[in-house]
Amino acid sequence: MKFYEKYDSVLTGVVSGLIFPFIVGIVIYLFSSGHQSLHSYLVRIADSNIITHSITLCVFPNILIFMIFNRLDMLRATRGVLAMTIVWAVIVFGVKIL
């Protein structure tokens, strides 16, 4: 049994597919905020009408997690990442409609 086989579960994929976009968003904020507070940065994004673009940019790196899990033959975790990516896509679609 390889050390990562115990992490091959849908829950692992769901958690990583949920957490990783937030980490990417924080990294983007740190590099592009220009010493603004998080609140004013998010207000600026909302005022610019680029909320869906920002969410999509943060979720796009889920492909990296998907490919890593797929390469390690962690197919259950891959399903979880795919499920969370679909949930994020539905959120983006809902925000775009509203």
pLDDT at 13 over 90: yes
**Span 19-52, pLDDT tens digits:** 999 999 999 999 998 889 999 999 999 999 999 9
What is the SS3 assignment for 61?
Answer: coil
1, pLDDT greater than 70: no
How many residues comprise the chain? 98
Structure tokens belonging to residue 70: 């797929």
Residue 55 has pLDDT above 90, yes or no: yes
Domain edges within the chain: 5-97
d(CA 1, CA 11): 20
pLDDT at 33: 85
Q: Which of 67, 56, 66, 61 is nearest to 96 (CA)?
A: 56
